[in-house]
Amino acid sequence: MTDAAHEDAAQESAQTPRRDWAWTRTDSPIGPLLLAATERGLAQVTLHAGERTTRRTLARLEGIFGTAPRAEISHLPLVVAELAAYFSGASTAFTVPLDWSLTSGFNARVLHELAAGVPYGSVVSYQDLADRVGEPGGARAVGAAMGANPLSLVVPCHRVVASDGGIGGFGGGLEAKRILLALEGVLPAPLF
């Protein structure tokens, strides 16, 4: 971990009271996912959770939560099952409680609006989402909020697209975004 990453983790730790948490990894059509939860709910979804990314994420979360992870937290089996149902097309919504403590301020406002106001099978533009949270002209800031989303997939930043009809960016990569939007019926499924 770099000095800047340690400093960021220390700042986040100072803002977040010490609490119990646990994690697991699960496979998905867009690659391995790291899921971390507290007693409050799901706190982190990390895409492309290979060994290096997993180690880095766990070190960061240990610093934020102020303790080593426990063996299990009750929310993890639920989110694993809900993600499997989502990826199989059997479910269009998540019911796992969310722990929003890893986001705040503008980012939290945007992510709450995204979670509440952009259902499965629909999309919203960065600018429309900025307008919804009362920040006209805040499309770039919405993009930054999407990139900082700790609850990717469950809080569906893949549903935020460019105003010009392009699919925009995605921290998990554009191919993963295309797969997710095709799964939800927004884009046609890839031919091969």
Q: What is the DSSP string of 38-91?
A: ESSSEEEEESS--HHHHHHHHHHHHHHHTSPPPS--THHHHHHHHHHHHHHTS-
Query: And the tokens for 15?
Result: 């803002």
Residue that has been written with the tokens 């999309």 in this structure: 123
By annotation, the residues acting in catalysis are 157
Q: What distances in angstroms separate CA 142 from CA 58, 70, 76, 113, 117, one per listed residue?
A: 26, 34, 28, 11, 15
Detail the DSSP E strand segments found in the chain. 21-26, 33-38, 42-46, 124-125, 160-161
Query: And the tokens for 154?
Result: 């469950």
Rounded to 10 degrees, the C-alpha dihedral 77/32/97/68 comes to 80
Please say whether the dihedral angle defined by the alpha carbons of residues 24, 177, 175 and 107, taken in this order, is positive or negative. negative
What CA–CA distance (Å, rounded) separates 181 from 192?
16
